[in-house]
Amino acid sequence: MSAAPNQQITPAIEMDAVTVSAREDSRLSVLEDVDWKVMPGEYWVVGGMHNSGKSDLLALAAGLNPPQKGICRLFGALMPGDLGGPERSRVGLVFDGGKPFHRLTIEENIELPLRYHHVAGEDATAERTREILDLTGLSPWAERQPGTIGRSWEKRLGLARALVLRPELLLLDDPLGGLDSRHLSWWMNFLDELSAGHPFLGKHPVTIVVAAHNLQPWRHQKVRLAVLKQKRFEALGPCSDMSPLSDSLVRELLAGESTVAV
């Protein structure tokens, strides 16, 4: 639905002169003077070499960590606020590797956010869990524990757990890392469907932010590109318009050759 002519659209994420601290040590800054707006329905890919601050930026965007300096807003609400509040529940975060709870079954892992946030009754919880199991191809292993299905499927489990609350904003930390061509193709197609408006989410386009050290899969995609370099955040525009020769870091990331932190 388009906004009325005089109605201002609230960004999903807004950062103003933000200093991002390391998750492991809040005294250590990893990014400085970050100015960034992510509007509803946008699809961003943030590229950077290993240890460049990608995961720390996502944790801040998700409302998990406060900014060291500057102002950060999530759906217009100032962060840090009540991190268990309504803004936080509108965000789905997929950690690198999925980070499942290994003592729970696949099905129990997916149900956990619904039970924690008291979103639905038993029947609705079971129905929604079955639906997301089918969508992600995890149904055959619903009663198994995560450690028995392999890392690629654990990544899908992380996505399923993030989507079960039907979030408006989806943050993904290196979702394609280590995937074979079959899994990679599934992820790219599914993220495109989510961005366009998937039936599971009421056909409402999800706002997506991906952090990646390899931009090659998105080389010709209609996504907005940003890079992290020397503790700086730089928004570059549509990835499809990028010349790989415009910057040495962009060239490496588009070629999938990044190996060293900057």
- Residue 171 burial by CB count (10 A; 0-12/13-18/19+): exposed, middle or buried? buried
pLDDT of residue 254: 67
pLDDT of residue 36: 97
pLDDT of residue 45: 95
Give this prediction's pTM. 0.89
pLDDT of residue 245: 46
pLDDT of residue 154: 94
Splitting the chain (262 residues) into consecutive groups of 10 residues, what average pLDDT does each group show?
A: 67 96 91 97 94 93 91 89 64 87 95 82 89 97 94 94 95 94 95 96 96 87 91 83 60 57 34
The pairing of beta strand 77-79 with beta strand 232-238: unpaired
pLDDT of residue 260: 35
pLDDT of residue 81: 58
Measure the CA–CA gap between 170 and 188, rounded to whole angstroms. 14
Residue where the block lists tokens 């975060």: 93
pLDDT of residue 158: 95
Residues 6 or more apart in contact with residue 119 via CB below 8 angstroms:
113, 125, 165
pLDDT of residue 239: 65
Q: Which amino acid is at 74?
A: L
pLDDT of residue 240: 59
First-to-last alpha carbon distance for the chain, in angstroms, is: 41
